[in-house]
Amino acid sequence: MAKDPVRVLVTGAAGQIGYALVPMIARGVMLGADQPVILHMLDIPPAAEALNGVKMELVDAAFPLLKGVVATTDVVEACTGVNIAVMVGGFPRKEGMERKDVMSKNVSIYKSQASALEKHAAANCKVLVVANPANTNALILKEFAPSIPERNITCLTRLDHNRALGQISEKLNVQVSDVKNVIIWGNHSSTQYPDVNHATVNTSSGEKSVKELVGDDAWLTGGFITTVQQRGAAIIKARKLSSALSAASSACDHIRDWVLGTSQGTWVSMGVYSDGSYNVPAGLIYSFPVTCQNGEWKIVQGLSIDEFSRKKLDVTAEELTEEKALAYSCLT
Ligand code: NAD
Ligand code: LMR
């Protein structure tokens, strides 16, 4: 029997990530090849015409799984009945703007969209925040949508996770699909900590540790980390635009694994509400290694954290604590 359609909201849908993301969702990349979807696309009035153009293209592409499209600049209409919300819309940093100005614009957007989601989304709606500052926008959304369970509000660090897999695969000249269990700890920013201490590669003679195979500690604790931390900036420098296809693809990976589950023995990185695991302050949205089953994520427990890693986990937590304070100061 055919499944009922799932309603998926994409905010900022007329933007460049939106343009890459909506066809992936309509093709089943996010929720599976047997899952019909209804797309809800939100953008702001100046982008209304472009948004309508995206809707026209979705119709023209005749995606068999796409059972409807709502394209609107009305946040209530956009949020009504959605089961999954991918929050990409936001205010980009412009020349001459201070960090606080960008933060101020975005946290007000996330505060007001939190209320719309809380009132109008389907019960148990899962939320993924992509727009920067992703962790702090997600935290504000959580704080201003108190009836949405905190486990349902997450942010995207899967792109950083996938970037780390890509770097290891290139270094070792192995298939990226054979590398697993890297971890991104902390903020989706240049203080994030990409950690390979528990990562492995599937080889013809079994699973081997990435650390042993690379055999170059200087790279693993130096160039590898900075490359992943700075990859977003490197893409902006090369494209004059921020990453879009990889961000869209990683957003699909995040939701797919959350809804359909991670494979046995594999974890992924997600920005989730900290419960104090690994001595990360509770009350931050922080990226942890997680496994997912039956639509729920769980932080992987019991991993050893050496002194080098401890410092890196703390630095990125401190940045998030400062961002949280800055966000609150913008709202008062
Ligand atoms: P973009 O500027 O191309 O698109 C953003 C869209 O959001 C625009 O169409 C804009 O009109 C819309 N928008 C602005 N305010 C809105 C509001 N209040 N409601 C709904 N829509 C609104 O930007 P992009 O390249 O698509 O990137 C989107 C965001 O994702 C940026 O904040 C970017 O920094 C972030 N990003 C995050 C990651 C990650 O891994 N977390 C990766 C790449 C980009
Ligand atoms: C990325 O990681 O590619 C983006 O978050 C960069 C940015 O600032 O938009």
Question: Which residues participate in the annotated binding site for substrate?
Answer: 93, 99, 132, 163
In a domain, 1, yes or no: no
Say whether the ipTM exceeds 0.95.
Answer: yes
Tell me which residue has its CA closest to atom 3 in ligand 2: 232
Distance (Å) from CA 286 to ligand 1 centroid: 20
223 and 246 in a common domain: yes
In a domain, 171, yes or no: yes
In a domain, 111, yes or no: yes
Annotation says 188 is catalytic: yes
310 and 168 in a common domain: yes
323 and 179 in a common domain: yes
How many domains in the chain? 2
138 and 229 in a common domain: no
The boundaries of the domain holding residue 196 are: 157-327
Distance (Å) from CA 309 to ligand 1 centroid: 31
- Condensed to tens digits (0 to 9), the pLDDT of residues 264-279 reads 999 999 999 999 999 9
- Condensed to tens digits (0 to 9), the pLDDT of residues 226-274 reads 999 999 999 999 999 999 999 999 999 999 999 999 999 999 999 999 9
Which of 98, 129, 155 terminates a domain? The answer is: 155
Contact between 302 and 280 (Cβ < 8 Å): no
53 and 200 in a common domain: no
| Per-residue model confidence (pLDDT) at position 182 | 98
Instruction: Please compute the mean of the pLDDT values over residues 16-20 and round it to a whole number.
Output: 97
pLDDT surpassing 90 at residue 201 = yes
80 and 133 in a common domain: yes
Closest atom of ligand 1 relative to the 251 alpha carbon: 40
Tell me which residue has its CA closest to atom 41 in ligand 1: 130
pLDDT surpassing 90 at residue 203 = yes
**Ligand 2 pocket test target in 162, 231, 236 with most atoms within 8 Å of CB:** 236
Predicted confidence band of residue 157 (pLDDT cuts 50, 70, 90) = very high
83 and 13 in a common domain: yes
**Ligand 2 pocket test target in 102, 191, 243 with most atoms within 8 Å of CB:** 243
Contact between 10 and 71 (Cβ < 8 Å): no
**CATH number, domain with residue 33:** 3.40.50.720
High-pLDDT (> 70) share of the chain, %: 98
pLDDT surpassing 80 at residue 118 = yes
**CATH number, domain with residue 232:** 3.90.110.10
Which of 155, 171, 196 terminates a domain? The answer is: 155
199 and 279 in a common domain: yes
Tell me which residue has its CA closest to atom 8 in ligand 1: 15
Is the CB of 44 within 6 Å of ligand 1?
yes
Contact between 113 and 128 (Cβ < 8 Å): no
Structure-derived torsion over alpha carbons of residues 194, 198, 202, 207, reported in degrees to the nearest 10: 170
307 and 162 in a common domain: yes
Distance (Å) from CA 282 to ligand 1 centroid: 27
| Per-residue model confidence (pLDDT) at position 295 | 98
Instruction: Please give the model's pTM, rounded to 2 decimal places.
Output: 0.98
Question: Which residues participate in the annotated binding site?
Answer: 12-18, 43, 93, 99, 106, 130-132, 163
Strands 200-203 and 179-180: antiparallel
* Mean pLDDT (the chain, rounded): 96
Q: CA 102, CA 220: separation in Å to the nearest integer?
A: 33
pLDDT surpassing 90 at residue 99 = no
| Per-residue model confidence (pLDDT) at position 332 | 78
pLDDT surpassing 80 at residue 329 = yes
pLDDT surpassing 80 at residue 288 = yes
In a domain, 244, yes or no: yes
Residue 194: is the preceding peptide bond cis (ω within 30°)?
Answer: no
In a domain, 332, yes or no: no
Is the CB of 271 within 6 Å of ligand 1?
no
Closest atom of ligand 2 relative to the 134 alpha carbon: 5
Closest atom of ligand 2 relative to the 235 alpha carbon: 3
Closest atom of ligand 1 relative to the 130 alpha carbon: 41
Where are the strands (E) in the chain, listed by range?
Answer: 6-11, 37-42, 66-72, 84-87, 126-129, 153-155, 179-180, 183-185, 193-195, 200-203, 206-209, 268-273, 285-293, 296-299
Distance (Å) from CA 12 to ligand 1 centroid: 6
235 and 135 in a common domain: no
Which of 91, 125, 155 terminates a domain? The answer is: 155
pLDDT surpassing 80 at residue 94 = no
Distance (Å) from CA 190 to ligand 2 centroid: 10
222 and 100 in a common domain: no
Catalytic residue among 40, 120, 161, 188: 188
pLDDT surpassing 90 at residue 100 = no
Which ligand neighbours the alpha carbon of 89 most closely?
A: 1
pLDDT surpassing 80 at residue 198 = yes
Distance (Å) from CA 313 to ligand 2 centroid: 20
| Per-residue model confidence (pLDDT) at position 92 | 74
Higher local confidence (pLDDT), 92 or 109: 109
